Structure 1
């Protein structure tokens, strides 16, 4: 099976480097969707790796490849402004990555969001500690959804706080 995965990854890399993005006329929609998902996966992984290298993130034990397949990844700067959001955010809450860049994760909160939980998250962030919380967030269309968030401070090789990273999924 790993041979197929390597083949799929090679095809995705090939298609992402093409200047003309076309699909054969007789292709099935699911094939196009599949290729788009693979392309988005590699684009997200590349962006995350670039942020990590540029900011000299200290070693961590996150499996970003697995997380990108199963969860939404959001990275904020130290001022809590979103600098990265994975493409699969659209599936979870209807927002595209481009719509949330530069904004605060508070944009997903509303009346149903428990303030006690929000304060616990805020306290963990202030103390630069990891946290795992379940919160009530809002989709772009206004629907409420339950979101499990695992958040971590990210330090550079000198021990300086550089970012926060959150692994999220609808619970």
Structure 2
């Protein structure tokens, strides 16, 4: 006999996932609420992390990784601390398509949001398709401060 899904099941799952990602959520909320980000991404980062199970990277304006959510390890084998201070190019290699790299580079140059699928490399050298939603973030003066990438591995 099957049992109906109870609202408590949903609440407990959400609570459990929020506890799992509590440090990541706290850091992202701090960035968004500190006044440092006047213009933030057009979507909820904690929902992307908790409910959509996506990986979030935040870079500085000069594209050095400032933050990586803990679930980056599930996607590509890297621990968050291993990628801090490095360029996202760390995930690229010989098979990464030039067209994808150019599309991302143009969006970053023009400070525009983008969606792109790119062939990336895991820490062990295996390939995976990464869907990236990228958002430029500006401060109150309108100056670019960060980029936010909401990422997930996808099948093609």
Distance 2:110 2:144 in 1: 11
Q: Within the alignment, does 1:58 sit opposite 2:39 as a pair? A: yes
Question: Could you list the runs of 5+ residues in structure 1 that have no partner in the other structure?
Answer: 10-34
1:113 and 1:137 in contact (8 A); partners too: yes
Alignment of 1:84-123 (within 5 A): 84-123=67-106
* More off after superposition, 159-168 vs 102-111: 159-168
TM-score (norm 1): 0.77
Question: Could you list the runs of 5+ residues in structure 2 that have no partner in the other structure?
Answer: 1-6
Distance 2:9 2:125 in 1: 43
Q: Within the alignment, does 1:5 sit opposite 2:15 as a pair? A: no
Tell me the alpha carbon deviations over residues 40-96 of structure 1, each in whole angstroms, 9 at most, x when there is no partner.
411101011122234133254311222112210000000100001100101000001
Asked which structure has the greater CA Rg, the reply is 1
Q: Which structure shows the bigger proportion of residues in helix conformation?
A: 1
Cα offset, 1:163, TM superposition: 0.4
Which of the pair has the greater relative contact order for Cα pairs under 8 Å at 6+ separation?
2
TM-score (norm 2): 0.84
Q: Within the alignment, does 1:78 sit opposite 2:58 as a pair? A: no
Distance 2:23 2:33 in 1: 15
2:72 and 2:78 in contact (8 A); partners too: yes
Q: 1:108 to 1:7 in 2, by over 3 A?
A: closer
User: Given the alignment, which residue of 49, 68, 72 partners 2:49?
Assistant: 68
Aligned length: 145
Alignment of 1:32-47 (within 5 A): 38-47=18-27
Distance 2:20 2:13 in 1: 17
1:40 and 1:87 in contact (8 A); partners too: no
Q: CA RMSD in A?
A: 2.0
